[in-house]
Structure 1
Amino acid sequence: MRIIFFSALVALFILVSIFISGRVYEQLYSSSQKVEYGVTFSPRYAKYLNLDWQKVYTQILDDLKVRNLRLTSYWDTIEFQKAQYDFSETDFLIKEAGKREAKAVLVLGSRQPRWPECHIPTWAKDLTITQRQQKVLEFIKAVVEKYKTSDVISAWQVENEPFAYWFGENCDTPDIKFLQEEINLVKKLDSRPVVTTDSGEWSDWIDPMKLSDILGISLYRRSYSSLFNLYITYPLPVWMYPAKANLVKKLFAPNNQKIFISELQAEPWTNIGVLDTSLDEQVRLFSAKDLQGNVLYAQKTGFDSIYLWGVEWWFYMAQNGYPEYLEYTKTLFR
């Protein structure tokens, strides 16, 4: 009985210590901390929202004054026809960023930001996994060779959340050996840092951090659970993110150079498509106050780079009579 009591007392002491440490941590990392902001931009998502993607992209650069970007290179767009590369979309993104002296993390591979996550050309879907992996390597090589002379590229991101096996369509089973092969190829082709990304809430970060120079994590406060058919607000204290980062780095990835928030929720997570969700419902699910709250929460993690997720949606909402999202985010990039 004494052992049980003592164990319970120790557990209680640890919990209280963690709580107090967390409160102290939040006080130390106030919203006045200097943070570098960026956005992820997807031409595909902008087109889905019936926006002129080129116009919106230049507005992101000129009106919002964004200078840190995470950009896509969709395999099924660039290599729509086997062995025939059309770089026009990505060329525009890189060229316009260069005109404004912006910097970009360019995502490589088959798994890229935005649904369906795995953007595989039709011609590659019936290949064996081994054959498809070989084609992915050829595609990555073509993209890196195309853009490695550009000063815009600050880092290469290899795949997007490659271990998030539970999310996406037409995705192959996560393969750590193949991911290592992709990373090795990129490092052989260019000396810039390699980024990998992982779920901030649903993964341990160990493998992505071990494999890459820089780890990007997502940070979501509220999402929809199809399993329980309801919206879930994550009850995680802010200090859990840096504590987890420091622990994983110390135990498993001492050579990791940096951890940043590559995807901060800045739009609603709808249980159906955005265009199938009423504007009133979208505002209810994610108000401008929610956006500001997420930014303030992310600031307190202590990570000094935060890339927001949903810039296309801000323009969509402004176009439909809700300019408050753009008005707030303008204050972040000035």
Structure 2
Amino acid sequence: MPSSKNEEIKQEVSKIRNEIRLGVSFSVKTCKDYSLDWQACLDGLLDAGFQRFRIMSYWDLHEPEQGVYDFSLLDSQLEIITKAGAEATLCIGMRQPRWPETHIPAWALELEIEDRRSAYLAYHRLIIERYKNYHCIQSWQLENEFWNKGFGQNNDFSRSRLKEEFSVLRALDPNRPIIMSLGNTVGLPIFAPKPDLFGTTMYLVQYENGRYSHTKFKPWYFALRRILVRIFGWRDLLIHELQAEPWGPKANWEMDDQEQALSMNSDQLKRCVQFAKDSGMKYMDLWGGEWWYWRKTTRGDHELWATVKSLVSDSRSKA
């Protein structure tokens, strides 16, 4: 007979996979890139109606010197989310969303690889112990696109390290779901560790090799992939990163309005959300919250912000 702990996780997993309210990723580092006040941006996203956030626990921000910790930024984010009655997925791992993907402190880069892994695991344990009792945290995301070997800097593709991170997380917080994102849009999760849910990215327009390209995949492909992940990975698949910001030849804040609009604008945002819905997956986190707020406050783009609010309101009305 399954244990009560297993049943508790199953109930939480069912709640997550059937969640239809739109969520959004949020990065204090990206706010800094846009020269935004991160708290004003987070408050703005709450005002837009978001009640679910994907939050990062960047190692280099919170352990700037070995053994010297500063969790004030992360504490503040989660306190704001808690006060608003919202929920969060907390990302942990060396590899987390936003460039350079692996957010390793400068001091740790100077260590031998095994010493670096040991140093990270000490931080890993500390993060879990510190935040596992935060009720706003609905789930953990362990690493981000761990097996994506074509993107990021200072990558460490050690399966044994990943398995150890997973084991530590499960042991320290056995009742909260663990999500792991897949490394690309074609692979299948055959090998261990097996989380409670898998996540995927979904991008419709990208700038590559000197030109913009539109995805050749259709919604039915993602529906089929979800079925295959269930068969071979024994878990369900959700959308952890749905494109909702530009992907152009430069950083977004370096492109003019016309260039940004070639890969993302209000109409394209609506198409992206509809594309995701047509795949049959309900849970989706949008990727671009900092950009929308920057567009609104710096470029006076109230149309895009109104579109975001409308999409969020529509998703909440159907919950």
Global fold match (TM > 0.5): yes
Residue aligned with 2:198, SS: strand
TM-aligned CA deviation for residue 321 of structure 1: 1.9
Residue aligned with 1:50, SS: coil
Match of 2:161 in 1: 178
TM-aligned CA deviation for residue 96 of structure 1: 0.6
Give 1:182-197 correspondences, 5 Å limit. 182-191=165-174, 192-197=176-181
TM-aligned CA deviation for residue 35 of structure 1: 2.3
CA contact (8 A) 2:95 2:146 kept: yes
TM-aligned CA deviation for residue 199 of structure 1: 4.3
Deviation readout 1:20-75 (Å, 9 max, x if unpaired): xxxxxxxxxxxxx98221000001101110111111111211x1121111000110
Q: Quick one: distance in 1 between partners of 2:49 and 2:191?
A: 31
Q: Quick one: distance in 1 between partners of 2:154 and 2:134?
A: 32
Between 100-109 and 34-43, the greater mean CA deviation after superposition: 34-43
Q: Quick one: distance in 1 between partners of 2:63 and 2:140?
A: 19
Relative distance call for 1:66 and 1:47 in structure 2 (3 A) is same
Residue aligned with 2:207, SS: strand
Q: 4+ runs of 1 displaced by more than 6 Å?
A: none
Match of 1:205 in 2: 188
Match of 2:40 in 1: 55
Aligned-residue CA RMSD in angstroms?
Answer: 1.6
Match of 1:125 in 2: 109
- Verify: 1:39 aligned to 2:24, yes or no: yes
- Verify: 1:241 aligned to 2:222, yes or no: yes
Match of 2:131 in 1: 147
CA contact (8 A) 1:198 1:208 kept: no
Residue aligned with 1:36, SS: coil
Aligned length: 294
Relative distance call for 1:331 and 1:160 in structure 2 (3 A) is same
TM-aligned CA deviation for residue 104 of structure 1: 0.6
Give 1:227-266 correspondences, 5 Å limit. 228-250=209-231, 252-254=232-234, 256=235, 258-266=236-244
Residue aligned with 1:304, SS: coil
TM-aligned CA deviation for residue 177 of structure 1: 2.1
Residue aligned with 2:233, SS: coil
Q: Quick one: distance in 2 between partners of 1:328 and 1:43?
A: 23
CA contact (8 A) 1:195 1:214 kept: yes
Match of 2:307 in 1: 328
Relative distance call for 1:243 and 1:209 in structure 2 (3 A) is farther
Residue aligned with 2:70, SS: coil
Residue aligned with 1:56, SS: helix
Length-normalised TM-score, structure 2: 0.88
Deviation readout 1:276-300 (Å, 9 max, x if unpaired): 2112211233221111100100011
Paired residue for 1:223, among 199, 203, 206? Answer: 206
Match of 2:86 in 1: 102
Structure 1, unaligned stretches of length 5 or more? Answer: 1-32
TM-aligned CA deviation for residue 210 of structure 1: 5.6
Q: Match for 1:230: what amino acid? A: R
TM-aligned CA deviation for residue 207 of structure 1: 4.3
The sequence identity of aligned pairs, in percent, is: 33
Q: Match for 1:140: what amino acid? A: H
Give 1:307-326 correspondences, 5 Å limit. 307-319=285-297, 320-326=299-305
Length-normalised TM-score, structure 1: 0.84
Q: Quick one: distance in 1 between partners of 2:191 and 2:135?
A: 26
Q: Quick one: distance in 1 between partners of 2:193 and 2:109?
A: 30
Higher Rg: 1
Deviation readout 1:91-124 (Å, 9 max, x if unpaired): 0111011011111110001111111111110000
Relative distance call for 1:223 and 1:81 in structure 2 (3 A) is same
Higher-RCO chain (CA-CA 8 Å, sequence separation at least 6): 2
Structure 2, unaligned stretches of length 5 or more? Answer: 1-17, 314-319
Q: Quick one: distance in 2 between partners of 1:196 and 1:69?
A: 16
